[in-house]
Amino acid sequence: MAADAATQQAAAAAATVTATATAAVKKPKLHGRAFYESIGSPKYIVAPMVDQSEFAWRMLSRSFLPESQRSSVLAYSPMLHARIFIESKKYRDQHFQPTKPDSDALFLDGNPAIDRPFFVQFCANDPQALLNAARIVAPHCDAVDLNLGCPQGIARKGHYGSFLQEDQDLIHRLIKTLHENLDIPVTAKIRILDTKEATLKYAQNVLSAGASILTVHGRRREQKGHLTGLADWQMIRYLRDNLPPETVLFANGNILQHEDLEKCLAATGADGVMSAEGNLSNPGIFAAPPPPGQEPRGYWRGRDGRGGWRVDEVFRRYLDIIHKYVLGVSPPPRRPLFVPGDDTAWMEEEILLPNRGGRDQGKPKKRRGDAAEENAALMTANFIGMQPHLFYLLRHFVSRHHDVRDALARARLGDMETYEAIYRMVEKKVAEGLLEYERTGGKSVEEDEPPPAAAAAEAGEDDDPESSARAVRECKRPWWVVQPVIRPLPKEALARGAVQLSKKERKRVAAEMEEEQKKENAANKRPKDAAAAADGAQAAVAESVAATAAATQSLEKTTSYPASELVSG
């Protein structure tokens, strides 16, 4: 009975949403490259991220390009759970707002005037549930994407994402059901498997089921957290070379800065490149840096010629988008962003956080449920995402300015007054940093800089495929500039004690090492007694060296491409 009720509710919701699009002329359904070309053949893509690629973030990511080019960036919705989406109106209202509440007027998600091209991504393991959910969003997006890449424990528990890859028949039925019954195209995002042959077969299955676009994350399911390691661009190139030429292929992985976008396209041969963590660190990653001498106030360039978007500029844009589009009000009046030479009198003003008697006093942060009771409109994706987005953007900034970190941690859901006060704190500290940089001739940030290229080369760091030192040096900027978060490679994480192998993994690695040693002995035709001695020694040290071996032989699987030092994205 409950299932029947849920199905009826989903059907009613789909009918209601579809009714809002009846005035539009139904276009013929395109497929594959014809569909890709119809949406402008976008090269750059904002990745689908759980609670992190919502409308305001998509708008922010596009805002750094000239207005005429913003529609050339394809953006995905956050991953939505298909079954919950059709069963829960509350869930739909929180995560998908194509029309205004209790109205047919177009609002945020998929609005043709401001949020296209736009794909909606679902995770699912039931073809009919996926189709019901897809029909609800179809009038407000260009395609529906199936998530086959999520590697997290919740995906294992719920049996979706990358944990469907052992059931290729189910994957085929999920995609085929949408392809045959949906008015818009279906696409899919996968992770690579252990071998290129298995990955190619996987890709062929997805495409034969009817996917118009295939996105390939160049990491295996096991590569997550401290074991993320490098994405394998070579595997994506193999797919490009062995799939039909008309296949539309997107590459995902290893994108830390703008320059990596073209490197990835050249190395993989993909049609487009998707960014997740690189985009979270710098939503302006898709925009080319301004020419030297033509930098706007919000773009900083140092004495060494390297630069990037200032955190106060990005923070300001983000708040303005929330005000203008989500809240429907004008942003508060703001002074021009500070540059050295401007008046500094405003920097003497004290900044007090709202509802607090002082900087270190205040009400405890309200829980989401409390905020929803006061104002249900706050329990939507654009407000829920604010705090995590700002912590990621300000990752390097708050490591130095703990008062900003603490204020951000205490910010309540949807409390724009507090976020505005935190912005003013950031704006002031950036101004102070810029003045100190000018006063010291750039020496104020030298203590934070990684070793110069010459010293790194002398130490052999640039030649070590298991070191992130080169990526850190190339991406490092002063704390007032948005910049990527560089993960240590697995071997480095193991060495630092950030991750430890299980007993099962240690035994497996030790057995692999022993087998490899035996093969090497046989190849070298070593005497039996020498081989036995080596085997005994190997068994004695296997436990102590298992961690390093796991990183180099099992967990890493690096690529030989020139950009292989990139360790995140």
CATH number of the domain that residue 65 is part of: 3.20.20.70
Q: 423 is in which domain, residue-wise?
A: 292-355+376-453+464-508
Which residues are bridge partners to 363 per DSSP? none
302 and 283, same domain (yes or no):
no
- Domain boundary among the residues 235, 269, 288 is at 288
Which tokens is 360 given?
A: 């270190």
**Residue 150 a catalytic site member:** yes
Mean pLDDT lowest among 165-174, 215-224, 237-246, 484-493: 484-493
Q: Which helix (H) or strand (E) holds 300?
A: strand 299-301
Q: Is residue 524 one of the residues assigned to a domain?
A: no
The tokens describing 19, both together, are 């009714």
Residues 136 and 203 in one domain: yes
Please report whether residue 370 resides in a domain.
no
> Is the residue at 141 inside a domain?
yes
Neighbour tally for 143: CB within 10 Å:
26
User: How many Cβ atoms from other residues are within 10 Å of residue 33's Cβ?
Assistant: 17
- At residue 23, the pLDDT reads 37
Query: Apex CA 411: angle with CA 410 and CA 414, to 5°?
Result: 155
Tell me which residue of 254, 194, 183, 159 sits closest to 568, measured CA to CA: 254
User: Which of helix, strand or coil describes residue 379?
Assistant: coil
Distances, alpha carbon 391 to alpha carbons 215, 308, 336, 405, 408, in Å: 28, 18, 24, 8, 8
Other C-beta atoms closer than 10 Å to the C-beta of 85 total 26
**DSSP-assigned beta bridge partners for residue 310:** 481
Average pLDDT over residues 348-361: 73
> Is pLDDT above 90 for 13?
no
What total of structural domains would you count in the chain?
Answer: 2
* H or E element in which residue 102 lies: none
Average pLDDT of the chain is: 85
Asked which of 17-26, 262-271, 368-377, 396-405 is least confident by mean pLDDT, the reply is 17-26
DSSP of 344-366 = -GGGGS----TT-SSTT--PPPP
Q: In terms of C-beta density within 10 A (0-12 exposed, 13-18 middle, 19 or more buried), how is residue 83 classed?
A: buried
Judging by DSSP bridges, how do beta strands 213-217 and 186-191 pair with one another? parallel
CA–CA dist 56, 63 (Å, integer):
10
- Nearest 5°: the CA angle 340, 346, 292 is 25
What pLDDT does residue 446 have? 79
Question: Residues 199, 296: one domain?
Answer: no
pTM for this model (two decimals): 0.83
Torsion of the alpha carbons at 251, 253, 256 and 261, rounded to the nearest 10: -10
Pair of tokens at residue 72: 């050339």
Tell me: do 118 and 76 sit in the same domain: yes
Instruction: Determine the average pLDDT of the residues in 173-180.
Output: 98
Q: Are 565 and 509 in contact (CB under 8 A)?
A: no
Q: Prior bond to 490 cis, omega within 30?
A: no
Is 281 found in the same domain as 176?
A: yes
What is the 8-class DSSP label of residue 277? H
Establish whether the linkage from the previous residue to 388 is cis, with ω within 30° of 0.
Answer: no
Report pLDDT for 556: 38
Q: Is the confidence at residue 362, as pLDDT, over 70?
A: no
Residue 214 shares a structural domain with residue 311: no
Residue type, 449: E
What percent of the chain shows pLDDT beyond 90? 69
CA distance 306 to 304: 6
224, 260 contact by CB (below 8 A):
no
pLDDT band, very low/low/confident/very high, at 523 (cuts 50, 70, 90): low
Tell me, yes or no, whether 200 lies in a domain: yes
Which entry of 123, 150, 264, 475 is annotated as an active-site residue? 150
Does residue 227 sit in the same domain as residue 333? no
Grade residue 567 by pLDDT with cuts at 50, 70 and 90. very low
- Taking 60 as the threshold, does the pLDDT of residue 270 lie above it? yes
Q: What residues have CB less than 8 Å from 453, skipping those under 6 apart?
A: 462, 473
Q: Say if residue 302 is in the same domain as residue 280.
A: no
